A and B are shown apart, each in its own frame.
Chain A
Amino acid sequence: NAGVTQTPKFRVLKTGQSMTLLCAQDMNHEYMYWYRQDPGMGLRLIHYSVGEGTTAKGEVPDGYNVSRLKKQNFLLGLESAAPSQTSVYFCASRETNQPQHFGDGTRLSIL
């Protein structure tokens, strides 16, 4: 039982490049989340999903897109990366009435 797995763990991009971050959970959870955390700051919700095939905007959705085609996977896409998107990205999942389980994060630098 791996819990929540994020891929990749580290990535460096150039401004304007695109990439997709993958979050996979093996706990059959309904809810999945993407947060970003800038140095010395708290977590900010980007997008979330309440079930397979659904997505919703969080606090800071601009510049990001998401998809939840399979229940166990939640993808976060950056279409045209900007230096302001340099951050640590955390994925989480949970079941109804239960706390969130977090992954170990993806450290993304955009030059």
Chain B
Amino acid sequence: LAKTTQPISMDSYEGQEVNITCSHNNIATNDYITWYQQFPSQGPRFIIQGYKTKVTNEVASLFIPADRKSSTLSLPRVSLSDTAVYYCLVALTSGNTGKLIFGQGTTLQVKP
């Protein structure tokens, strides 16, 4: 399984764009990249998933370079409610491997 490395913590201010980068040097050909958000006392919640290039949804964008050894979660114009822990997960999503291991996550603190 590909191991992921993220910054432990980041600070930002309301209204700014936040970019969180995840390194996954040994990502396999069939691995997808998935990001989750977790608030205190809650289970993680899916944000976005991608395989290559760029993916955008209503809450975030995911940028993946051609070599796929890293990925960047972009949160536009963050608010106080975006303060949370963000996890990058790289895993085989086809076949029966099934095993999904989380990294340490990035704690994002948004300040007023």
Residues of chain A at the chain B interface (Cβ within 8 Å): 4, 31, 33, 35, 41-45, 48-51, 56, 58-59, 88, 90, 92, 96-105
Contact = CB atoms under 8 A, between A and B. Distances in A.
Contacts of B96: 50-51
A45 B49 CA distance: 20
A41 B99 CA distance: 19
B34 interface: yes
Interface of B, helix, strand, loop or mixed by DSSP: loop
Given A42-B87, A42-B104, A105-B43, A99 B98 contact: no
Contacts of A41: 104
Given A96-B94, A104-B42, A42 B102 contact: yes
Interface string B90-112: 00011011111111110000000
B41 interface: yes
A99 B99 contact: no
B46 A105 contact: no
Given A31-B98, A56-B98, A96-B93, A42 B103 contact: yes
15 contacts: A45-B101, A48-B100, A50-B96, A50-B98, A51-B96, A92-B44, A97-B93, A99-B36, A100-B100, A101-B46, A102-B44, A102-B45, A104-B42, A105-B41, A105-B43
Contacts, number: 61
Contacts of B93: 96-98
Nearest to B94: A97
A59 B101 contact: yes
Contacts of B87: 42-43
Interface string B72-98: 000000000000010100000110111
A41 to B, nearest CB: 8
Identify the interface centre among A43, A90, A103: most chain B CB within 10 Å of its CB.
Answer: A43
